[in-house]
Amino acid sequence: MSTLPSQVSSGNSQPPPLTFSTSLFRQISPALYLQRHLLHSPPTRPNGRSPFQCRDFTLTTNSLSHAHGSAVVRAGDTAVVCGIRGEILTVAPGDDPSRFESYHSSPTSATHACGSRGAGGASWGGLIVPNVELSTGCSKKYPLGPPGGLAQTLSDQLHELINVTKLVSLDSLRIYDKGSDLDSTMKIKGYWSLYVDVLCISLDGNILDAAWYAIVAALKSSRLPLACWNQTEERIFCDASLNHPISLRQSLPFTTTFALIPLPNPEGCGDEAAVLLNDPDSYEEDEACEILTILSTTDLSTVQGHAPQSPSGRLRTRVEKIEKKGGWKIGISHIESCSHLAASKAAQYIQSLTKEQLAPM
């Protein structure tokens, strides 16, 4: 960067304060640098965005040759690749398929005694295995080697999101025995287990939103080979020429993350000021004291079916998850206003996803 000396402030009684170039100031005092930007009117973030403005994002689906479904999401300088790989879980003759049909991992002592807890349990939730890999040299702050705290927390958060939102229909994961005449539960011979791997190629803040969007887009674009039970061989075979999509929910939920930056109080008393930033980059995340994530759906097709009572013109928004960590400055009113922003962000995501789906492959 250039070494422009910043202007010396016009204090004349005191000796001129120590001055730094903008880029140096950014490095040595990030908190102050951020505060000065945000106290400006109108508040502008160092990256040129307004507090509630999110980064533009791009989506590319199914660009990988070996994955059953994939998506590349780039939001600002954060880039993630999500690849989905299906593998087959064969239900052994002694197994009870109903274990997989229930979402809640059964709290019976049997599963604990088997020690299957650490291995993902035996519930439906265990069929989809998301993992985040950050040790790809995506940022100099993140060390190489086995997944650290952030990667583990993200993997667990994404696993919870997939389970809680019931994103994937269990029916599209079942593998049936087409030939038999027995009742439907006996016909289930296996399940597709989906390995959802998210690789972060470039990390510049707000990895959760990008990763979740990539997962939803990749699942939506996935095509699994058609699998069925072969009675003579007694194993599951796939047909390379036929495939089927994974059916997802109609109203797709999306996450929106906000970071709260504390500001110095000019009066020095009363409530401390703070500003919420939508879609923080890593420079802002480092200074944030509070992180708020809202998972919401925006239903674009409210007109169908029963008449909605909500006023027309406004999208019907449902919140499915709120997560707020650290700090104490976010109030209920903040959460309310953020939920509206989250809804508009979700609408943006849906629009870009539909555009991508409609585009010729």
Site for other proteins in 173-192 (CB under 8 A): none
Helix (H, G, I), strand (E, B) or coil at 124: helix
Q: In angstroms, what is the minimal distance from the CB of 280 to other proteins? A: 14
223 binds other proteins (CB under 8 A): no
263 binds other proteins (CB under 8 A): no
Stretch that binds other proteins, among 176-184, 208-216, 306-314, 352-360 (CB under 8 A): 306-314
CA contacts within 13 A on the Cβ side of 76: 20
244 binds other proteins (CB under 8 A): no
In 76-127, which ranges are continuous DSSP H helix?
98-101, 109-113
In terms of Cα–Cα distance, which of 37, 58, 57, 36 is closest to 46? 37
49 binds other proteins (CB under 8 A): no
Residue 214, classified by CB atoms within 10 Å of its CB into exposed (0-12), middle (13-18) or buried (19+), is: buried
Whether the Cβ atoms of residue 179 and residue 162 lie closer than 8 Å to each other = no
Helix (H, G, I), strand (E, B) or coil at 14: coil
According to CB under 8 A, which one of 140, 270, 304, 313 is a site residue for other proteins?
Answer: 140
According to CB under 8 A, which one of 336, 358, 360, 361 is a site residue for other proteins?
Answer: 336
Q: In angstroms, what is the minimal distance from the CB of 332 to other proteins? A: 6
Give the β-pairing of 57-61 and 69-75: antiparallel
Q: Which is closer to other proteins, CB of 263 or CB of 335?
A: 335
According to CB under 8 A, which one of 49, 71, 80, 197 is a site residue for other proteins?
Answer: 197
C-alpha span between 37 and 343 (Å, rounded):
27
Q: Which is closer to other proteins, CB of 27 or CB of 180?
A: 27
C-alpha span between 259 and 310 (Å, rounded):
30
According to CB under 8 A, which one of 188, 201, 273, 315 is a site residue for other proteins?
Answer: 201
Q: Binders of other proteins: how many residues, by CB under 8 A?
A: 145
- β partners of residue 9: none
Whether the Cβ atoms of residue 128 and residue 162 lie closer than 8 Å to each other = yes
Q: In angstroms, what is the minimal distance from the CB of 270 to other proteins? A: 13
Q: In angstroms, what is the minimal distance from the CB of 159 to other proteins? A: 5
The helix (H) or strand (E) run that includes residue 288 is none
Phi, psi of 236 (to 5 degrees): -95, 130
214 binds other proteins (CB under 8 A): no
Q: In angstroms, what is the minimal distance from the CB of 22 to other proteins? A: 5
According to CB under 8 A, which one of 48, 268, 313, 360 is a site residue for other proteins?
Answer: 48
245 binds other proteins (CB under 8 A): no
53 binds other proteins (CB under 8 A): no
353 binds other proteins (CB under 8 A): no
According to CB under 8 A, which one of 211, 214, 227, 350 is a site residue for other proteins?
Answer: 227
- β partners of residue 86: 194
According to CB under 8 A, which one of 54, 55, 61, 70 is a site residue for other proteins?
Answer: 70
Helix (H, G, I), strand (E, B) or coil at 142: coil
> CA-CA distances (angstroms) from residue 55 to 38, 127, 279, 340?
17, 33, 7, 17
Q: In angstroms, what is the minimal distance from the CB of 295 to other proteins? A: 8
Hey, which residues between 266 and 305 contact other proteins (CB under 8 A)? 282, 289-291, 295-297, 299
Q: In angstroms, what is the minimal distance from the CB of 122 to other proteins? A: 6
134 binds other proteins (CB under 8 A): no
Task: For the chain, give percent helix, strand, coil, nearest 5.
Answer: 30, 30, 40
232 binds other proteins (CB under 8 A): yes
